[in-house]
């Protein structure tokens, strides 16, 4: 007999030592669990929802908030009334632009959840969210499987060592295919999927799921009073050997058990010695939790968030299989548990344009009015107020404990990636040397598009500068520079949509109808060949003589230049080079690399050896830096410099009847076709295409396919341009030929 039942959470006891693995922040942060009490953290989950665009992240989050009792209505993306997509631009476009954090309760647990964007232009929002999260829910469109942006967010989660579960959403779509999804997970994500749900019904008939391990069936009423999905019917499957579907479920159950035994030694030992009959539901969940936290495989669940099916089971899975804070091993050693350690991972501005800083606490308490030490800036600041984030609303609290995500006000200097401690002495325990340089904990990608920006009149100039300053602090991928050569402000971003959203935010939030110049591609420059150059600076200024002779060798390399390599020989005496001289030479070199000789774009993929340095008595460090810079620029003039253009990974979903047109158009855009895959009547085309060929591509593609296709693109790498294309680009940018 069916009965109303919500699935039961079983949280097994965990041997924390099993999970001792260096996760996140490149071994710079670690929990000090010696004095911590795990019971304080067991009821906390810090999770992120990550996925390809339109996979259903925000819809799933809205259902979670509804079923948890946080809200009494279900927000819909297409209606523009969601809690998580609160920005005007998000509601107008129906996409997530900025990651939104929220805290809610589910079955006596506190879930700190971050809903992230799926569009590639805002992938940094995913990056900084994953840097502070303990677990992730990866959502797939069950009709599409693993898509381009799914690969990107999975790679980001792996880089931070974030354990994940996968949710196959949109099982109600006619083209939904769980077998295809599992195959794409295994082939593209390179991880073993453990399918813990079997869907009941297909397409429009999808109405529930079966859990083979627990032999439980859950059914949702999609009509009448039960259409909001709050209540669902559950029953234990009874043995019926004549039922072929029951035999199929038993087969699936045996398959999962075998996979778990292959991955978990504790489970395998009991399975082999005591038999399958001895295994309990607790054994299954304990083993799956160990496997998930060690990222040996990924549990897979299914449902339809829009149709209100199986979201509660996904929320149970978050509690069952994703880690609580002290199960993640963040590598800050020797920090006493009562000493504060927190990471600033996001900044926004309230209606009064005061900065609100999002913090993840790793140890110690944080209180309103407390002063904290910023290791990155070497300064102290006072916390004015502490608040719990509730999307675009905030609830003030007097203090917060480790393992939580909180918002602080009052910071003037803190930016994304800064590490905060209770004091300078606490920071020195982690970074003993005052000269320790912190590598960025959150990697910020370089922008690929730029354009000029102007206020509507001179009277708006200061307001525009303030707006750009605030937006740049909120979004590190958005950059602003003033070009003295043309006397204009340049803004740089990750794509056309990114720049367009920035313009809209300036108009809506700051009341400035700014004018943008035409979008231009952010090229790079590099060496065409190995070159060696000597520069002599011999100058008298105000009666003081400055002399420097410097020789450098420049050569192509694939890795970024960190510093000049000092080549010591018995003739050059560079083994005794003064540290201040070497630091100054590096500063001069980096200054020269900022502006290449072709189009003044940054020079990358260059290695530099210092072969000779002779500095006259009384020569200032400023002159030495200038000599180093001029030596590099002289070497550029001797080398055959080449332009590098950004190459984008393009994925197009198009009806078969239009595939030929799209391929023909791509061939004219210097594209390299990587793969073609047929899914039902839709052709998936993947290609590498120069960014310069993709300006306005969405409009072109709609015209080619009568608006029946979609596409995504993400930055792949920089590649050298052919000589003819380089000459064409130089003429377009400068109006002159390089010959």
d(CA 607, CA 561): 6
Residue 553 burial by CB count (10 A; 0-12/13-18/19+): exposed, middle or buried? Answer: middle
pLDDT at 348: 85
- pLDDT of 204 higher than 70: yes
- pLDDT of 328 higher than 80: no
| Element holding 453 (H helix, E strand) | strand 449-454
Q: What angle do CA 408, 411, 417 make, to 5 degrees?
A: 80
pLDDT band, very low/low/confident/very high, at 258 (cuts 50, 70, 90): very high
The fraction of the chain above a pLDDT of 90, given in percent, is 38
d(CA 476, CA 601): 20
Average pLDDT over residues 547-571: 90
pLDDT band, very low/low/confident/very high, at 28 (cuts 50, 70, 90): very low
Closest to 704 in 3D by CA, of 670, 655, 650: 655
pLDDT at 404: 87
Tell me if residue 606 falls in helix, strand or coil: strand
Tell me how crowded residue 456 is: count the other CB atoms within 10 A of its CB: 12
d(CA 215, CA 240): 13
Question: Which are the contacts of 350, defined by CB distance < 8 A and separation ≥ 6?
Answer: 356
Tell me how crowded residue 40 is: count the other CB atoms within 10 A of its CB: 14
Question: Which are the contacts of 487, defined by CB distance < 8 A and separation ≥ 6?
Answer: none
CB 49 within 8 Å of CB 117: no
Range with the largest mean pLDDT of 83-87, 244-248, 264-268:
264-268
The one-character DSSP state at 79 is G
Average pLDDT over residues 364-374: 91
Tell me how crowded residue 263 is: count the other CB atoms within 10 A of its CB: 18
The fraction of the chain above a pLDDT of 70, given in percent, is 86
CB 408 within 8 Å of CB 103: no
- pLDDT of 491 higher than 50: yes
- pLDDT of 88 higher than 60: no
d(CA 31, CA 25): 12
- pLDDT of 552 higher than 50: yes
d(CA 24, CA 159): 7
Q: What angle do CA 102, 331, 138 make, to 5 degrees?
A: 40
pLDDT at 614: 92
Residue whose pair of structure tokens reads 């989050």 in the numeric block: 61
In whole numbers, what is the pLDDT of the chain averaged over residues?
A: 83
Q: Given CA atoms 509, 515, 518, 521 in this order, what sign does their dihedral have?
A: negative
pLDDT at 436: 45
pLDDT at 345: 86
The pTM score is: 0.74
d(CA 372, CA 382): 6
d(CA 356, CA 359): 10
Average pLDDT over residues 634-650: 91
pLDDT at 667: 92
CB 101 within 8 Å of CB 358: yes
- Write the DSSP string, 150-170: HHHHHHHHHHTT--EEEEEE-
Q: How far is CA 282 from CA 243, 257, 346, 360, in A?
A: 27, 13, 39, 32
Range with the largest mean pLDDT of 20-24, 87-91, 226-230, 429-433:
226-230
- List the structure tokens of 683: 């052709």
Closest to 362 in 3D by CA, of 656, 726, 31: 31
Question: Which are the contacts of 377, defined by CB distance < 8 A and separation ≥ 6?
Answer: 413, 414, 418
Question: Which are the contacts of 473, defined by CB distance < 8 A and separation ≥ 6?
Answer: 347, 355, 415
Residue whose pair of structure tokens reads 């083209």 in the numeric block: 175
- pLDDT of 708 higher than 80: no
- pLDDT of 21 higher than 60: no
- pLDDT of 75 higher than 80: no
d(CA 134, CA 115): 14
Which of 499-526 are b and which e, b meaning 16 or more Cβ less than 10 Å from the residue's Cβ? bbbbbbbbeebbebebeeeeebbbbbbb
- pLDDT of 527 higher than 90: yes
Alpha helices per DSSP H over 594-686: 621-638, 656-667
d(CA 323, CA 43): 10
Average pLDDT over residues 297-325: 93
Tell me how crowded residue 545 is: count the other CB atoms within 10 A of its CB: 12
Taking the CA of residue 140 as centre, how many other CA atoms within 13 Å lie in the half-sphere pointing to its CB?
A: 31
Average pLDDT over residues 429-449: 64
CB 471 within 8 Å of CB 515: no
Which of 413-451 are b and which e, b meaning 16 or more Cβ less than 10 Å from the residue's Cβ? ebbbbbbbbbeeebbebbbeeeeeeeeebbeeeebbbbb
Angle (deg, nearest 10), helices 265-274 and 244-263: 120
d(CA 194, CA 261): 12
Residues in the chain, overall count? 739
Tell me if residue 51 falls in helix, strand or coil: strand
- Write the DSSP string, 423-452: SHHHHHHHS-STT--PPPSS--PPP-EEEE
Average pLDDT over residues 21-29: 32
Max intra-chain CA distance, the chain: 105
pLDDT band, very low/low/confident/very high, at 261 (cuts 50, 70, 90): very high
Question: Which are the contacts of 269, defined by CB distance < 8 A and separation ≥ 6?
Answer: none
- List the structure tokens of 82: 């969601």
- Listed in order, strand segments (DSSP E) in 680-727 are 682-690, 710-720
CB 244 within 8 Å of CB 232: no
- pLDDT of 447 higher than 70: yes
Instruction: Average the pLDDT over each of 66-80, 125-139, 381-395 and give the range with the smallest value.
Output: 66-80
pLDDT at 156: 86
- CA-only gyration radius of the chain, Å: 29
Q: Rounded to 5 degrees, what are φ and ψ at 104?
A: -150, 170
- In the chain, the N- to C-terminal Cα span, in Å, equals 85
| Element holding 727 (H helix, E strand) | helix 723-734
d(CA 25, CA 425): 21
CB 229 within 8 Å of CB 308: yes
d(CA 385, CA 342): 16
The distance of Cα 405 from the centroid of its chain, to the nearest Å, equals: 17
Q: What angle do CA 156, 162, 163 make, to 5 degrees?
A: 130
- pLDDT of 166 higher than 60: yes
d(CA 199, CA 145): 16
- Listed in order, strand segments (DSSP E) in 35-94 are 44-51
- Decide the pairing of beta strands 44-51 and 135-141: parallel
The one-character DSSP state at 459 is G
For 116-140, how does the pLDDT look when each residue is reduced to its tens digit (9 = 90+)?
876 666 778 888 888 888 999 999 9
Residues forming a β-bridge with 109: 106
d(CA 315, CA 636): 58
């Amino acid at each position: 007999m069916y009965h109303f039942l919500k699935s039961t959470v079983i949280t097994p006891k965990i041997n924390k030592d099993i999970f001792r693995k260096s996760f996140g922040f490149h071994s710079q942060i670690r929990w000090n669990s010696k004095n911590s009490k795990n019971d304080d953290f067991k009821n906390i989950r810090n999770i992120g929802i990550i996925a390809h665009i339109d996979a259903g992240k925000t819809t799933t989050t809205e259902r979670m908030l509804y079923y948890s009792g946080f809200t009494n209505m279900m927000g819909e993306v297409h209606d523009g009334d969601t809690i998580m997509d609160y920005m005007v631009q998000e509601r107008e476009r129906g996409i997530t632009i900025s990651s939104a954090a929220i805290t809610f309760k589910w079955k006596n647990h506190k879930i700190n959840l971050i809903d992230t964007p799926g569009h590639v232009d805002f992938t940094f929002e995913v990056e900084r969210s994953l840097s502070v999260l303990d677990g992730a829910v990866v959502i797939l469109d069950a009709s599409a499987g693993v898509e381009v942006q799914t690969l990107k967010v999975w790679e980001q989660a792996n880089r931070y060592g974030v354990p994940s579960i996968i949710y196959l959403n949109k099982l109600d779509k006619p083209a939904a295919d769980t077998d295809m999804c599992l195959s794409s997970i295994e082939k593209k994500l390179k991880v073993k999927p453990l399918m813990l749900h079997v869907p009941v019904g297909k397409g429009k008939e999808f109405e529930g799921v079966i859990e083979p391990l627990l032999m439980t069936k859950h059914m949702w009423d999609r009509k009448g009073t039960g259409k909001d999905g709050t209540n669902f019917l559950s029953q234990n499957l009874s043995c019926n050997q004549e039922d072929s579907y029951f035999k199929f479920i038993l087969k699936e159950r045996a398959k999962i058990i075998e996979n778990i035994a292959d991955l978990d030694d504790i489970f395998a030992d009991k399975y082999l010695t005591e038999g399958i009959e001895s295994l309990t539901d607790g054994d299954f969940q304990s083993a799956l939790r160990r496997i998930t936290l060690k990222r040996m495989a990924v549990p897979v669940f299914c449902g339809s968030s829009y149709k209100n099916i199986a979201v509660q089971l996904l929320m149970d899975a978050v509690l069952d299989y994703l880690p609580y804070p002290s199960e993640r091993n963040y590598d800050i050693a020797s920090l006493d548990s009562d000493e504060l350690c927190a990471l600033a991972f996001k900044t926004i501005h309230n209606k009064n344009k005061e900065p609100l800083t999002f913090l993840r606490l790793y140890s110690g308490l944080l209180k309103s009015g407390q002063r904290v030490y910023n290791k990155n800036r070497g300064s102290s600041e006072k916390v004015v107020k502490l608040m719990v984030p509730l999307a675009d609303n905030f609830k003030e609290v007097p203090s917060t404990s480790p393992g939580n995500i909180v918002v602080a006000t009052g910071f003037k200097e803190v930016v994304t990636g800064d590490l905060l401690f209770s004091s300078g002495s606490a920071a020195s325990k982690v970074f003993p040397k005052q000269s320790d340089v912190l590598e960025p904990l959150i990697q910020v990608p370089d922008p690929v598009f730029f354009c000029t920006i102007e206020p509507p009149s001179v009277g708006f100039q200061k307001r525009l500068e303030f707006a750009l300053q605030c937006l740049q602090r909120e979004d590190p991928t958005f950059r602003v520079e003033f070009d003295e050569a043309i006397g204009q402000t340049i803004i740089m971003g990750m794509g056309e949509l990114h720049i367009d959203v920035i313009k809209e935010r300036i108009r809506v939030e700051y009341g400035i109808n700014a004018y943008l110049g035409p979008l231009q591609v952010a090229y790079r420059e590099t060496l065409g060949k190995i070159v060696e150059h000597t520069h002599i600076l011999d100058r008298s200024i105000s009666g003081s003589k400055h002399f420097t002779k410097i020789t450098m060798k420049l050569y192509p390399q694939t890795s970024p230049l960190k510093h000049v390599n000092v080549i010591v020989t018995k003739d050059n005496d560079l083994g005794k080079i003064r540290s201040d001289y070497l630091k100054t030479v590096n500063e001069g070199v980096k200054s020269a690399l900022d502006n290449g000789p072709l189009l003044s774009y940054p020079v990358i993929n260059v290695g530099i050896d210092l072969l000779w340095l002779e500095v006259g008595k009384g020569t200032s460090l400023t002159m030495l830096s200038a000599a180093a810079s001029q030596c590099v620029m002289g070497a550029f003039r001797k080398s055959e410099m080449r332009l590098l253009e950004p190459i984008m990974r393009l994925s197009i979903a198009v009806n078969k009847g239009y595939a030929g047109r799209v391929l023909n158009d791509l061939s004219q855009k210097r594209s390299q076709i990587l793969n073609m895959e047929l899914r039902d009547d839709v052709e998936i085309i993947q290609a590498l295409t120069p960014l310069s060929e993709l300006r306005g591509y969405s409009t072109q593609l709609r015209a080619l396919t009568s608006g029946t296709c979609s596409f995504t693109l993400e930055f792949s790498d920089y590649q050298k341009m052919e000589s003819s294309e380089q000459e064409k680009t130089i003429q377009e940018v400068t109006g002159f030929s390089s010959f």
